[in-house]
Amino acid sequence: MSPNEALIFLFSIEKAHGASQFALKEEFLTASEIARLRKISDDGRRREFLASRYACKVILERFTGMKKSKIDLEEVVRRRQELVSKVDGRPLYASLAHHDHLIAFALTPIGPVGVDLEQKDRDVKVLKDNSVEERRNFFRTWTEREAKLKAGPSRAKFPYEFVQFHEKKFNSILCLVILSESPVQREEISVSLHEE
């Protein structure tokens, strides 16, 4: 991964879950992830939690060299713990989103990152006419707001913002937000979307 690159991995939970029955065993989870899993009573949500964590840890293991069982996604994603690239020692930033059957995972060395996604064909009761365009605008605004929250309050060190939308796969809207230290760095960002 180059210094100005951001990777987005987008895949369905069914594919992530089907990739390995290992994902149903809790042995790749850390203690804090097991504690969170135990609070989830719905079987579908439990499978979503396990499949998304497993898929993201496979990706992180490849880029950091850390074992899946040592990567705590609660720390990495929620508390913005810095990871370190096994290739060149640069910090890596990560963000995770899942909605219904979709998982989006973003990874970059640039700066704090946030990703969010929503199905764009859902009805939204608060909209006036619920047209395709009105829903599209609503979900673009919603995903951008959520992705900015996930990128975090690091505005002092990373004052520049890069925002990009993707609306291709799975009839969804995905928003990526990356905070950067300089406007030049922001302009040179290369994003690649990996659809699994």
What's the number of CA atoms in the CB half-sphere (13 Å) around residue 192?
8
Q: What is the residue-wise DSSP string for 24-91?
A: GSGGGS-HHHHHHHHT---HHHHHHHHHHHHHHHHHHHHHH---GGG--HIIIIIS-PPEE-TTT--E
pLDDT of 193 over the 80 cut:
no
pLDDT bin (cut points 50, 70, 90) of residue 24 is: low
Which pTM was predicted?
A: 0.83
The domains of the chain are located at 5-190
pLDDT of 19 over the 70 cut:
no
Fold of 5-190: Ribosomal Protein L22; Chain A (3.90.470)
pLDDT, tens digit, 9 for 90 and up, residues 168-177: 666 778 888 8
pLDDT value of residue 174 = 83
Angstrom distance (rounded) from CA 110 to CA 177: 11
90: Cβ contacts below 8 Å, ≥ 6 apart: 3, 84, 109
pLDDT value of residue 89 = 81
Rounded mean pLDDT, 22-32 = 74
pLDDT bin (cut points 50, 70, 90) of residue 125 is: confident
pLDDT of 16 over the 60 cut:
no
List the Cα angle 130/127/106 in 5-degree steps. Answer: 85
Which residue in 144, 147, 139, 178 sits closest to 161, CA to CA? 178
pLDDT, tens digit, 9 for 90 and up, residues 146-161: 998 888 876 677 888 8
Rounded mean pLDDT, 29-55 = 86
